[in-house]
Structure 1
Amino acid sequence: MDQQLEQVSVDIQKIVYKKAMLHACKYSTEDVIGILIGQITDKSINIVDAYPLFHSRVSLNTLEVSLDIISSELQNDRKIIGVYEAKANFRGIMSELAREILNNINQNKAILMRISQIEVDDTFVLNAKIVSQNENVKHVINSSSTLEWWVIQDCLKAGLHWKIVDFDAHFENVQLNFRNQYLE
């Protein structure tokens, strides 16, 4: 007997792509990871923001501190609902840190957005793909939330990826704003 897949509608705001993909561009030779913020209901997921976390090795203490800081700033209707990651070697294997964060979120519909490099017309570009962690859930990306390269092309031309601040940088210099509001 085949089990019916539960379809969950996913809406992703452009700011999410900008922050996650620019984070991956700035640290293109390193693995990067960040978290996704939004709302989850029975049939839909709305991803409204992303916070770049790390681009180098991280301890559980710094992870806990960064998640506590972010959680304390969230509005009541928003929470941490997933993780994005980009691997420098592009093997597509979920990192242990991403798995740990997803396990701590402890939600059946937690999101993993994997950023990878693809070739389009002999040019390498980034692609974002939602990967389901629950084999019984199929994520359906809304047409208004396409995972397209054009979302960040102008940002790259303007050099905005060099301004991305993640928690690695914030912990080195607390004056740096990890919220990256200049992208909004």
Structure 2
Amino acid sequence: MDQQLEQVSVDIQKIVYKKAMLHACKYSTEDVIGILVGQINDKCISIVDAYPLFHSRVSLNTLEVSLDIIQSELQSDRKIIGVYEARANSRGIMSEIAQEMLQNINQKQAILMRISQIELDDNYLLNAKIVSLNENMKYVINSSSTLEWKIIEDCLKAGLHWKIIDFDAHFENVQLNFRNQYLE
């Protein structure tokens, strides 16, 4: 007997695509990981912001500090609802870290956004895909891949990917702001 899939609508703000995809572009030869922030209701998930975290090393201490900082700054109606990742190769260590973080979020609807390169007409484009971790759930994304690419394409032309700051860089120099408000 087949179980009926629960459909959940997912709204993703443009700023989320910008931050996550620019993070992946800046460190294209390394694995990257970041946090997704928003609201989760029964039938609708709204992803309103992203915080780039790491592009190289990850230690438990720096991860805990970064999550504490993010949580302390969130508005009361927002919380950490997921993780984004981009792997530089198939052996990426960030995937294991992403899985651990998603388990700690402790929500049946925790979001995983995977960023990858796709080839289209001999050009490489970035693609963001929401992956369901719950086999009984289907996400219905309220945007299109074309929109994702158009958002990031203009940012790349302006060189904004070189300005993206993640927590790795902030940890080395606390003057650097990993919130990346200049993109808003």
**What's the TM-score, normalizing by structure 1?**
0.96
Worse-superposed segment, 82-91 or 10-19: 82-91
Question: How far apart, CA to CA, are the structure 1 residues paired with 2:176 and 2:144?
Answer: 30
Structure 1, unmatched stretches of 5+, are none
Q: The residue matched to 2:178 in structure 1 has which SS?
A: coil
Could you report, residue by residue, the CA deviation over 1:127-184 in whole angstroms, capped at 9, with x for unpaired residues?
Answer: 0000001001100011xx2233111111000100000000000000000001000000
What's the counterpart of residue 125 of structure 2?
125
**Count of matched residue pairs:** 182
C-alpha displacement of 1:91: 7.1
Q: Which runs of 4+ in 1 moved over 3 A?
A: 90-94
Task: Quote the RMSD (CA, aligned, Å).
Answer: 1.4
* Identity over aligned pairs, percent: 85
Question: How far apart, CA to CA, are the structure 2 residues paired with 1:100 and 1:136?
Answer: 20
Could you report, residue by residue, the CA deviation over 1:100-120 in whole angstroms, capped at 9, with x for unpaired residues?
Answer: 110010000000000000001
| 1:152 is aligned to 2:134 | no
What's the counterpart of residue 45 of structure 1?
45
Q: How does 1:60-99 map to 2 (within 5 A)?
A: 60-89=60-89, 95-99=95-99
Contact 2:33/2:94, CA 8 A, preserved across alignment? no
**Structure 2 CA distance for partners of 1:56 and 1:91, relative to 1, 3 Å:** closer
Q: The residue matched to 2:103 in structure 1 has which SS?
A: helix
Q: How does 1:8-47 map to 2 (within 5 A)?
A: 8-47=8-47
Q: AA paired with 1:166? A: D
**Structure 2 CA distance for partners of 1:97 and 1:173, relative to 1, 3 Å:** same
Could you report, residue by residue, the CA deviation over 1:50-79 in whole angstroms, capped at 9, with x for unpaired residues?
Answer: 000000021111100000000000000000
What's the counterpart of residue 107 of structure 2?
107
What's the counterpart of residue 4 of structure 2?
4
What's the counterpart of residue 164 of structure 1?
164
C-alpha displacement of 1:18: 0.2
**What's the TM-score, normalizing by structure 2?**
0.96
Question: How far apart, CA to CA, are the structure 1 residues paired with 2:144 and 2:167?
Answer: 27
Question: How far apart, CA to CA, are the structure 2 residues paired with 1:36 and 1:131?
Answer: 13
Q: The residue matched to 2:56 in structure 1 has which SS?
A: coil
